[in-house]
């Protein structure tokens, strides 16, 4: 089997060398032939020059450098699109995805699975974060049509068939978790213990997680728009009901001045609802706008096959 390992790297100078050393220990025992593809996602530290050095020292390590920071999804896509081999593994550069697991994963692939995903346990995570994640997956699985699992991330191994299927989806907004689930294929799961991040900092903030959640929902179906219709119907019914009641109470009991409070509540509440729903529509519209531009997902500034003419001195 020829195995390719794709590693998106953004400011990973602290772990890259260690990761490659570990890969060198593991990979020869796992696959007949292998290549490692380091994708530098516009890092601002020494990641790129380290990648150049690694690849110069060992041609089985290749690198690609994007022209700026395009985000992990794009970096991953760049690597996957360029990877050669019968199977492709995706690994984070921060040593949170133990390469030692690849042996077991390749074993499963050889048994006939097309996708092997690694699922991390959440030991050692802050309580609140674990709770938040549980809630997120509960919610998102209700909202979208494909099933995504907690602890299952981008650490996975794809057969050539699964990879080609994935690459055939060329939408601009990529919610990988959903896309991996969407392509289907026989999928096996391998569990591993959570490893705290080694060096550097995670890019996730609460705000980003929230955005990620919205992305997940919006890029997988139009159920929020459906919800908007239901909410609209409900409000209309309530409005008519209330109007009927006011009319009735005026006719029957001579109550001709219904509350000021109800008026304000009605105006503010409905105004809020309308803005919210406009936001939902806008979100979809914005996506259509970006999709229609058909811009590339990433641009490559250099790679191991096309290195820069003058290699920049260590920064």
- Contact residues: Mg ion, CB under 5 A: 92, 94, 96
Neighbours of 41 (CB within 10 A): 27
Smallest Cα–Cα separation from 11: which of 46, 62, 36, 61?
46
- 206 binds ligand UDP, rule: CB under 6 A: no
- 256 binds ligand UDP, rule: CB under 6 A: no
Neighbours of 278 (CB within 10 A): 12
- 105 binds ligand UDP, rule: CB under 6 A: no
Between CA 106 and CA 103 the distance in angstroms is: 5
- 303 binds ligand UDP, rule: CB under 6 A: no
DSSP 313: P
Using DSSP bridges, classify how beta strands 300-303 and 61-66 pair: parallel, antiparallel or unpaired: antiparallel
Q: Which of 6, 12, 175, 181 binds ligand UDP (CB under 6 A)?
A: 12
Pick the stretch among 8-16, 155-163, 271-279, 290-298 that binds ligand UDP (CB under 6 A): 8-16
**Sheet strands (E) in 82-237:** 87-90, 115-120, 152-159, 187-192
- Minimum distance from residue 229 beta carbon to ligand UDP (Å): 35
Pick the stretch among 69-77, 100-108, 206-214, 234-242 that binds ligand UDP (CB under 6 A): 69-77
- 208 binds ligand UDP, rule: CB under 6 A: no
When computed from its CA atoms, the radius of gyration of the chain, rounded to whole angstroms, is: 25
Asked whether 189 and 206 are in contact (CB, 8 A), the reply is no
- Minimum distance from residue 303 beta carbon to ligand UDP (Å): 16
**CA distances in angstroms from 195 to 98, 133, 198, 205, listed in the order given:** 8, 17, 8, 19
- 37 binds ligand UDP, rule: CB under 6 A: no
Q: Which of 123, 139, 184, 204 binds ligand UDP (CB under 6 A)?
A: 204
Q: Which does 62 bind (CB under 5 to 8 A by kind): ligand UDP, Mg ion, none?
A: none
- 10 binds ligand UDP, rule: CB under 6 A: yes
Q: Which does 13 bind (CB under 5 to 8 A by kind): ligand UDP, Mg ion, none?
A: none
- Minimum distance from residue 176 beta carbon to Mg ion (Å): 14
- 69 binds ligand UDP, rule: CB under 6 A: yes
**Sheet strands (E) in 91-163:** 115-120, 152-159
**Sheet strands (E) in 58-120:** 61-66, 87-90, 115-120
Q: Which does 69 bind (CB under 5 to 8 A by kind): Mg ion, ligand UDP, none?
A: ligand UDP
Contact residues for ligand UDP, defined by CB under 6 A:
8-10, 12, 41, 69, 71-72, 75, 92-94, 96, 202-204
């Amino acid at each position: 089997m020829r195995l390719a390992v794709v590693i998106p790297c953004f400011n990973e100078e602290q772990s890259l060398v260690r990761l490659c050393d570990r890969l060198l220990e593991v990979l020869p025992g796992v696959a007949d032939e292998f290549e490692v593809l380091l994708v530098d996602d516009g890092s601002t530290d020494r990641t790129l020059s380290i990648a150049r050095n690694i690849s110069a020292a060992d041609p089985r390590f290749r690198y690609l450098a994007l022209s700026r920071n395009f985000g992990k999804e794009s970096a991953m896509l760049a690597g996957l699109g360029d990877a050669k081999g019968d199977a492709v593994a995706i690994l984070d550069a921060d040593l949170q995805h133990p390469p030692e697991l690849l042996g077991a994963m390749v074993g499963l692939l050889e048994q006939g699975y097309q996708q092997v995903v690694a699922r991390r346990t959440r030991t050692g995570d802050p309580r609140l974060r674990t709770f938040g994640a549980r809630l997120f997956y509960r919610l998102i699985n209700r909202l979208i049509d494909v099933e995504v699992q907690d602890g299952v991330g981008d650490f996975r191994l794809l057969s050539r068939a699964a990879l080609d299927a994935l690459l055939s989806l060329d939408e601009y907004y990529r919610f990988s978790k959903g896309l991996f689930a969407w392509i289907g294929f026989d999928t096996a799961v391998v569990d591993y213990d959570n490893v705290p991040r080694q060096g550097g900092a995670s890019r996730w903030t609460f705000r980003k997680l929230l955005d990620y959640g919205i992305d997940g929902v919006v890029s997988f179906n139009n159920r929020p728009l459906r919800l908007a219709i239901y909410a609209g119907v409900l409000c209309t019914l309530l409005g008519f009901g209330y109007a009927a009641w006011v009319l009735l109470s005026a006719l029957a009991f001579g109550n001709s001045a219904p509350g000021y409070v109800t008026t304000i509540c009605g105006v503010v509440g409905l105004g809020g609802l309308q803005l919210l729903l406009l936001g939902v529509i806008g979100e979809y519209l914005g996506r259509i706008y970006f999709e229609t531009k058909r811009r590339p997902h990433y641009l490559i500034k250099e790679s191991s096959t096309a290195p820069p003419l003058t290699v920049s001195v260590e920064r």
